[in-house]
Structure 1
Amino acid sequence: MATTEPAPAASQEAWFIYRGDGRPHDGLDRLPPPPPWRRFDRPGPDRRRDRAISYRADKNVVTMVNAAIYLRRPLLVTGKPGTGKSTLAYNVAYELGLEPVLYWPITSKSTLAQGLYHYDAIGRLHETSLRQAMSSAADGEAPDIGRFIRLGPLGTALLPRQRPRVLLIDELDKSDIDLPNDLLNVFEEGGFAIPELERLPEEQSIVHVMTNDGQDRVPVERGQVRCSAFPIVIITSNGEREFPPAFLRRCIRLMIEQPGPEQLAEIVEAHLGKEAREQSADLIEEFLQRRTRGELATDQLLNAIYLATSGARAPQATMEELREAVLRPLDAAGS
């Protein structure tokens, strides 16, 4: 049986947790705490809150968010990867003391219906058949239809409430070509209908349905869902396609610029602390210089600073290799 060797003495070589020599050892015991954005020992809401707290918005972002809130219009946010487009939604919800963000990640197969609600007709049919079999009666009572209807993230955001919900529609540019136009009527009307509930008899005019975030079931009257406070809708796009003019004119548009040196320093401090900020001036300057030659995201800088400032230090030659790897441009050949 293989024996476990003690970890090597504290030195730059001690940085290597994995040695690659095939000999078991206890080096993992000296691994420093993970970066704040890679901690998984906390519930998802807490991690998202931490991300929201550390977000730093520039003046233009603040102005356009307020414009969207005042006008009750969706905010269409574009920008390069890593500029905080998605995190903005969590920051807005946190600062305004609103309920957790409703999240709708878009793919090429996403449809408006998926965002609004889902009716599990097959599940209800199965339960109806089971009840009839157990009661030996063809006219057995049908199960509550509300248990088989779940509102999607957009549908949940449009429920009537005093304070709006924040809805993040992430990466809309990945959608089918029709989805942006399909959203127009819902945004203009501030509501939608559930046909399966509209057809119910008068004595079932109010049905309690499930929501996207798993909270208590909510009442829907005559199949109509209409907001009283228009949600704060933040739509992100990586700029991979153009949207129809009719869609664009119904949105407030925001282009998030890449952060400058002072904003980067504030982001570093928010994530890694004041000491890391003081130690990272040279890395920030190098990052800015590299960014003029290729596409880099802010989280690449954070990764480089974490490696340079946390726990044991890697040998100088290794740090240079790591810096080249971590700060490799996203648009470099072979990325």
Structure 2
Amino acid sequence: MNDWRIYRGAGLPHDGIRRLPPPPPWRDFAAAGPDTGPGADPSAARRLGVQRRLVENHHPRPEEVEAVNAALYLRRPLLVTGAPGTGKSTLAHAVAHELGLGRVLRWPIVSRSTLRDGLYHYDAIARLQDVQLERAGADVGARRSIGSYIRLGPLGTALLPAARPRVLLIDELDKSDLDLPNDLLNVLEEGEFALHELERIADREPEVEVGTDDGGRTVIADGRVRCTAFPLIVLTSNGERDFPAALLRRCIQLDLEPPGEEQLTAMVRAHLGDDAVTDGEELIQRFLHREPGEVVAADQLLNALFLTQHAPSTERVTRERLADMLMQPLDRPR
């Protein structure tokens, strides 16, 4: 079948969906990846490439390596800025993969995010409902501890005592409201926080088991979490806002440039294999030699390479039209 189209726009029902090929590796949410077992990160294959080895697929620049090591040595957060698609989030996964630090904890920031969201969530409504049901004589099973209603967030989980640091990705901090960067200061400086609901009952329940962002359980003593190995915290920003000086002085700052030819080729090879590098040479060069100041993300190139692989080579006009559609500059006025 030479027709690559699944949807034909003819209005006639058919079973062409059976011909849909496997998804791009970076959009394959069912794949477990080659790293399995306790602590494996299921999203690492999508981020780093299914055929990955760090040296082959990431090719970090010397300044990136130095900034990561500075953050590790100084136990400071790493603030990574750069245009969309420059690999800011991937850097966190690359470090965790190389150093064997387990699944990357991820806190995606939105305009409504608060410090409490990152630390822990207490479901007071569910607890109140259970208490009311018990008083009404309903059979709700064994009486549940307060810890059953508390789950640590990604930042709270990263700060749990551990022999080795966890990697925490606080993604797109510039999307937050004005208060969050300042609210983070004390936690980032002290490496600890209190769960006020547990502090109030610490005299009668000094140890309480709560849930974690990993889906596991952990014991909190005296209502406080104190880290023993400060996590590698990667804060990313698209450069859409300025941050307070108090946050900047607590961070190691790294500005990521768009990937060069070596990084781009390695990225394509890691995700799509050697054939994609050869067959997509024209698109790779088009990406590298775009207009100065034009913003095009690397994942746009990957999307174009993947999709044009499925369009017949004889349909050059179709392939070019697909490439144009998928590689539109992000800063182009709409």
What TM-score range do you get, normalising by the shorter chain?
Answer: 0.7 to 0.9
Answer yes or no: is the 8 Å Cα contact 1:304–1:327 preserved in 2: yes
Q: Does residue 37 in structure 1 map to residue 26 in structure 2?
A: yes
What amino acid is aligned across from residue 237 of structure 2 in structure 1? S
Give 1:295's aligned residue.
295
Distance in 1, matches of 2:62 and 2:87, equals: 14
- TM-score, length-normalised on structure 1? 0.88
Give 1:264's aligned residue.
264
Distance in 2, matches of 1:308 and 1:127, equals: 56
Q: Does residue 103 in structure 1 map to residue 106 in structure 2?
A: yes
Give 1:83's aligned residue.
86
Aligned with residue 48 of structure 2, among 48, 52, 57: 52
Distance in 1, matches of 2:211 and 2:312, equals: 50
Structure 1 stretches of 4+ moved >6 Å = none
Cα distance change of structure 1 residues 196 and 286 upon mapping to structure 2, 3 Å threshold? same
SS at 1:324's partner residue?
A: helix
What amino acid is aligned across from residue 36 of structure 1 in structure 2? P
Distance in 1, matches of 2:104 and 2:278, equals: 33
Q: Does residue 20 in structure 1 map to residue 9 in structure 2?
A: yes
Distance in 1, matches of 2:197 and 2:15, equals: 61
Distance in 2, matches of 1:142 and 1:320, equals: 64
Taking only aligned residues, the RMSD between alpha carbons, in angstroms, comes to 2.3
Answer yes or no: is the 8 Å Cα contact 1:128–1:143 preserved in 2: no
Distance in 1, matches of 2:227 and 2:154, equals: 13
Give 2:95's aligned residue.
92
Aligned-pair CA distance for 1:23 = 4.1
**1:65-84 superposed matches below 5 A:** 65-84=68-87
Larger Rg: 1
Answer yes or no: is the 8 Å Cα contact 1:272–1:306 preserved in 2: yes
- TM-score, length-normalised on structure 2? 0.88
List gaps (5 residues or longer) in structure 1. 1-9
User: 1:130-182 CA deviation, whole Å, 9 max, x = no partner?
Assistant: 2233399xxxx974111111111111111111111111111111111111111
Distance in 1, matches of 2:16 and 2:202, equals: 69
What amino acid is aligned across from residue 265 of structure 1 in structure 2? T
Distance in 2, matches of 1:273 and 1:177, equals: 43
What amino acid is aligned across from residue 209 of structure 1 in structure 2? V
Cα distance change of structure 1 residues 275 and 180 upon mapping to structure 2, 3 Å threshold? same
Cα distance change of structure 1 residues 131 and 58 upon mapping to structure 2, 3 Å threshold? same
List gaps (5 residues or longer) in structure 2. 34-40
Answer yes or no: is the 8 Å Cα contact 2:25–2:45 preserved in 1: no
User: 1:57-111 CA deviation, whole Å, 9 max, x = no partner?
Assistant: 2222122111101110000011110111112212211211112111111111111
SS at 2:331's partner residue?
A: coil
Aligned length: 318
Cα distance change of structure 1 residues 61 and 223 upon mapping to structure 2, 3 Å threshold? same
User: 1:29-70 CA deviation, whole Å, 9 max, x = no partner?
Assistant: 444433211223325943433423545122221221111011
Distance in 2, matches of 1:32 and 1:229, equals: 44
Give 1:6's aligned residue.
none
Distance in 1, matches of 2:23 and 2:121, equals: 39
What amino acid is aligned across from residue 91 of structure 2 in structure 1? L
Aligned with residue 113 of structure 1, among 99, 116, 123: 116
Aligned with residue 133 of structure 2, among 127, 130, 135: 130
Cα distance change of structure 1 residues 29 and 251 upon mapping to structure 2, 3 Å threshold? same
Answer yes or no: is the 8 Å Cα contact 1:78–1:236 preserved in 2: yes
Give 2:153's aligned residue.
152
Distance in 2, matches of 1:58 and 1:122, equals: 49
Distance in 2, matches of 1:253 and 1:25, equals: 54
Answer yes or no: is the 8 Å Cα contact 2:167–2:232 preserved in 1: yes
**1:83-232 superposed matches below 5 A:** 83-134=86-137, 143-200=144-201, 202-215=203-216, 217-232=217-232
Distance in 2, matches of 1:65 and 1:314, equals: 46
What amino acid is aligned across from residue 209 of structure 2 in structure 1? H
What amino acid is aligned across from residue 325 of structure 1 in structure 2? M
SS at 2:204's partner residue?
A: helix
